[in-house]
Structure 1
Amino acid sequence: MKVFTAEQIRNWDQFTILNEPISSTQLMERASMKVCHWISENCKIHKKLFVFCGNGNNGGDGLAIARMLYIKGFDVDVFVNDPKGKFSEDASVNLKRLRDVSGVSIRRFNEIDQYNFDDKTIIIDALFGTGLSGNLEGEYEILVEQLNKKKNYKIAIDIPSGLPADGLPKENATILKTDYTLSFQCWKRSFLHPETGRFTGKVEILDIHLHPEYAETSETHNFVIDDKMVESIFNPRQEFSHKGSYGKSLIIGGSYGKIGAAILATRSALKIGAGLTFTMAPECGYEIIQTSCPEAMFIKGGGEYVNNFVVDNDMVCGIGPGLGTHSDTGKNFLEFLKTYSHPLILDADALNIIAADQEALRLIPSKTIITPHPKEFERLFGNTANSFKRLELAKAKAKELDIYIILKDHHTQVVTPQGDVFYNITGNAGLAKGGSGDVLTGILVSLLAQGYSEKETCILGVWLHGKAADFAAEKYSKEAMLPTDVINEFGEVFKELNRNTIKEL
């Protein structure tokens, strides 16, 4: 799914109005019906709604939603700045329609203290859409501050009021913090970054059937990894195939006290389906690796740490999980990079070794995939003021070094050498545990070994990792789930992928 700017989305609305054709009021009605349906299906125990509407088209959505939900049996009160004030043309139409419906009160913002916000009341935010420039001010800022103090569920229509669509808010901005955001047609960049996404709650993208031609022909470098994209990449297992059809994966990692990281990466690579899987680790890990991963073959890389990096050209290699940063490990790893030219998967201590010698960045083979978390990224490339700046730096470094960067975050970002960014929306906070990155490394090595391109490996890999984590969280909870639980859910993910991609008679 493409991610468009606020301006592009407004242009998409206009393109739909001109080419469907449909009037702007009818398009507003269509969007409001989608919201109404979602609320009526998901808020069955909440029958009281306070809808806060601005004077623009976002307010027009709110006025239409209030009318529709009242007709469906909800108890609705509407709050506006001034019922006799100036509204946009489409909002004025919906204000008149609402007034024609008896039973819905239209109040002023400053009257909210007279109303009881009990625990069955939902607050609907339709104050400002994506057209707001600058911070909330005056009565609107006071209102949002009051609403933020309420413990009621809050649902934003299109975007939480005060939040920019495409970047960071200005300093000291007042923004409504919502539990759900019901947005239209596509994601907005601010939903996908930690500084701004914390205001949106759970995001639901509602398809309001804007004209598909606009999306097909309009350019962007930002995308969300959705099911359609993943299904177009995934290659189901072929019946007439053998282990040689699915490549050789090699995990290089582990050191005394950190053998578990290499095991997690190895088990992950095995479960993702590489034809043959090897683990190069120090001799101290031999028995535990052979016991824990009997399907993998062991290669001795040293005594208590790896100091011998030898990789056959027909293997796809992932280096880093539990590797350690012993001086011999670091020295021999950098020597290995000087002579190795195939794409690698580099994570954890492999990145830490490179970060200690900035000249080593130039040794990373072209098309390699690196998977830093924010601190590892900072050690590699320097500090940035925020995640938007970090992403811009990642784009510059991916192009400069001709590598793929997987920026691990709540919505992990895949950054290509061409400057495209793919945001992953699977996964959850249960992955915030040691070992989760090792599991991802194993996934990526295995997919690349099976013949997926580097770009496909990154996109499919982060999605699959997050999807398995979602299944694990559902089964065990975010708190109790472990990286091994994520590995054990790969089968359920592949079952779902196969159901969605293999055509049945």
Structure 2
Amino acid sequence: MKIFSSTQIREWDVFTIQEQGLSSHELMERAARTCFEWMKKRFLREDYFYIFCGTGNNGGDGLALTRLLLAEGFCAKAFLLQEKELTIDTQKNVVLLRKVSSESLFIIEKEISIIDIPKNAIVIDALFGTGLNRALNGLAKEIIEKINLLPNKKIAIDIPSGLFPDKLPNADDACFSSDWTLSFQTYKRSFFYPEAAKYTGVINVLDIGLSKDFSESNETTFFTLDEVTARSLYKPRNPFGHKGTYGTAVLVGGSYGKIGAIILSAKAALRAGAGKVFIQAPHCGYTIAQTSIPEAMFIAAGENFIDSIDIMEDVVRGIGPGLGTEPASRIALESFLRNNHEPFVIDADGLNIIAKNKEKLLPLIPEGSIITPHPKEFERLFGRTNNSLERNELAIAKSKEHKIYIILKGHRTQICTPEGACYFNLSGNAGMATAGSGDVLTGIITGLLAQGYSAKEATLLGVYLHGLSGDIAAKKNAQEALIASDIIDLLGQAFLRISPE
């Protein structure tokens, strides 16, 4: 799914109106009805709705929604911020609502008290939409700050008031804190950053029938990574294939006390479909590896810490899980970087070693390689930023500069490509914030690369499958009980979910 800027969203509305022969008021009515249909499926006639409306078109959506709720027998009241400077379509909806029930519309023109809102009422925010370009102040700020203190369930229409589609709010900005956000047609970019996401609650993207031609023909560099994308990338197995068909993955890492990390990576590579998997680890891990994962072969490199990394042909490597940063391992990785010219996956301590000498070592990472830092590892490599959006923009820039794929791990993992695109992953959950989860991701991507997936395909598909496995695991045993091995064990179910029926 494409993610458009606020300017593009406005153009999308205008294009749709012209293409479909609509009036702007008819498009507003369609948006309100789509919200109404969503609510009708989730709430009872006995529920009470308090809809707070601004003077712009987002407020018009709220007024139309109030009218639709009333017409279907729901209890609803609309609170209009003021009755001056309304858009033409919002004025029309004031008139239409008053025809249905003049007693259900209240004008707010001065300081208000909202302590009389029943605790079981649903509060709906239709104050400001995607056109907001400054922080809220005055009466609007006061209303939002008071509503946020209430225990009521809250819904934001299109975007929580106070948020911007393309940038983050300041720490002291007033933003409506919702339980659900009903976003029209697509996600807004800001929804994927924690500074803004804490206000959105659960995001539901509602199709309001905006032009498909506009969406297909307009360019963007921001996308969601969803099940549709994953299905398009998946390659079914060749029924006449053999283990050589599906490639050889070599997972390099492990050290005394950290052998488990490279074991998790190797298991994940096998579950991801690699034909053959080698573990290159220090000798202290030999018995553990051969016992816990007999399907993998073992290459000893050092006693307690890796002291060499073999240059092998026709293999794909994933390097870093459990590697440690001992001098011998640092020398081994530096030597490998100077002598290897094939793309590979690098994670964990592999990234930490590079960060200690980044001016010399970063340029040695071959083009097309994949790095998988979490935010702290990213900071060590590329420097500190002021917020998560700036970090994302820096990741995009560095991906282009070094011609590598950067997977910036987090709740909405970001995949940045050498072409300057960024994908926000929609699978995954907080239960995956557990030791070893990143090692599993390294193994999955390495296993996909071994089978012939391109770096971009393996990165996108690997990240989505990793998160989907975690989602399946969380539903089975709860997020709190999720461990990294669960992600591996349920990877098969994730493949079944995205494979053709």
Name the CA distance, whole Å, in 2 between partners of 1:104 and 1:90: 21
Asked whether the equivalents of residues 78 and 104 of structure 1 are also in contact (C-alpha less than 8 Å), the reply is no
Give the aligned partner of residue 94 of structure 1. Answer: 93
Distance apart, 1:294 and its partner CA: 1.3
Alignment partner of 1:77: what SS? strand
Distance apart, 1:352 and its partner CA: 0.5
Give the aligned partner of residue 36 of structure 1. Answer: 36
**Alpha-carbon spacing, 1:93–1:103, altered in 2? closer, same or farther (3 Å):** closer
Name the CA distance, whole Å, in 2 between partners of 1:413 and 1:36: 33
Give the aligned partner of residue 54 of structure 2. Answer: 54
Distance apart, 1:207 and its partner CA: 1.0
Give the aligned partner of residue 321 of structure 2. Answer: 321
Asked whether the equivalents of residues 366 and 403 of structure 1 are also in contact (C-alpha less than 8 Å), the reply is yes
The question of 1:365 aligning with 2:341 is answered no
Give the aligned partner of residue 497 of structure 1. Answer: 498
Asked whether the equivalents of residues 290 and 298 of structure 2 are also in contact (C-alpha less than 8 Å), the reply is yes
User: Which residue identity does 1:402 align to in structure 2?
Assistant: K
Distance apart, 1:167 and its partner CA: 0.8
Distance apart, 1:116 and its partner CA: 3.3
User: Which residue identity does 2:81 align to in structure 1?
Assistant: N
Distance apart, 1:103 and its partner CA: 7.9
**Alpha-carbon spacing, 1:465–1:103, altered in 2? closer, same or farther (3 Å):** farther
RMSD over equivalenced CA pairs, Å: 1.5
Name the CA distance, whole Å, in 1 between partners of 2:300 and 2:115: 74
Name the CA distance, whole Å, in 2 between partners of 1:239 and 1:232: 20
Give the aligned partner of residue 203 of structure 1. Answer: 203
* Percent identity between the two aligned chains: 48
Following TM superposition, where does structure 1 have runs of at least 4 consecutive aligned residues deviating by more than 6 angstroms? none
The question of 1:224 aligning with 2:234 is answered no
Give the aligned partner of residue 79 of structure 2. Answer: 79
Give the aligned partner of residue 307 of structure 1. Answer: 307
Asked whether the equivalents of residues 311 and 336 of structure 2 are also in contact (C-alpha less than 8 Å), the reply is no
Give the aligned partner of residue 11 of structure 2. Answer: 11
Deviations 1:400-440 (A, max 9, x none): 21111101111111111111111111111111111110010
- Normalization by structure 2: what TM-score? 0.97
The question of 1:159 aligning with 2:159 is answered yes
Distance apart, 1:240 and its partner CA: 2.1
Distance apart, 1:85 and its partner CA: 3.1
Give the aligned partner of residue 376 of structure 1. Answer: 377
**Alpha-carbon spacing, 1:312–1:44, altered in 2? closer, same or farther (3 Å):** farther
Give the aligned partner of residue 394 of structure 1. Answer: 395
**Alpha-carbon spacing, 1:97–1:45, altered in 2? closer, same or farther (3 Å):** closer
The question of 1:440 aligning with 2:441 is answered yes
Name the CA distance, whole Å, in 2 between partners of 1:455 and 1:104: 58
Asked whether the equivalents of residues 283 and 302 of structure 1 are also in contact (C-alpha less than 8 Å), the reply is yes
Distance apart, 1:45 and its partner CA: 8.4
Give the aligned partner of residue 331 of structure 1. Answer: 331
Asked whether the equivalents of residues 5 and 165 of structure 2 are also in contact (C-alpha less than 8 Å), the reply is yes
Distance apart, 1:104 and its partner CA: 5.7
Deviations 1:300-344 (A, max 9, x none): 122111112004221100000001111001101100110101111
Alignment partner of 2:17: what SS? helix
Deviations 1:89-108 (A, max 9, x none): 11112222211213861124
User: Which residue identity does 2:157 align to in structure 1?
Assistant: I
Name the CA distance, whole Å, in 1 between partners of 2:258 and 2:238: 36
Deviations 1:466-498 (A, max 9, x none): 111111111111111111111122111111112
Name the CA distance, whole Å, in 1 between partners of 2:224 and 2:114: 41
Deviations 1:1-59 (A, max 9, x none): 11100110010000000011211111111111111111111234871111111111000
**Alpha-carbon spacing, 1:45–1:73, altered in 2? closer, same or farther (3 Å):** closer
The question of 1:460 aligning with 2:461 is answered yes
Structure 2: runs of 5+ lacking an equivalent: none
Alignment partner of 1:95: what SS? helix
Deviations 1:123-163 (A, max 9, x none): 10000001112111111010000001011111100000000
Give the aligned partner of residue 147 of structure 1. Answer: 147
Name the CA distance, whole Å, in 1 between partners of 2:9 and 2:46: 32
Asked whether the equivalents of residues 45 and 75 of structure 2 are also in contact (C-alpha less than 8 Å), the reply is no
Asked whether the equivalents of residues 134 and 170 of structure 1 are also in contact (C-alpha less than 8 Å), the reply is no
Alignment partner of 1:32: what SS? helix
Structure 1: runs of 5+ lacking an equivalent: none
Name the CA distance, whole Å, in 2 between partners of 1:329 and 1:114: 63
Name the CA distance, whole Å, in 1 between partners of 2:48 and 2:376: 45
Give the aligned partner of residue 248 of structure 2. Answer: 248
Number of aligned residue pairs: 498
Alignment partner of 1:243: what SS? coil
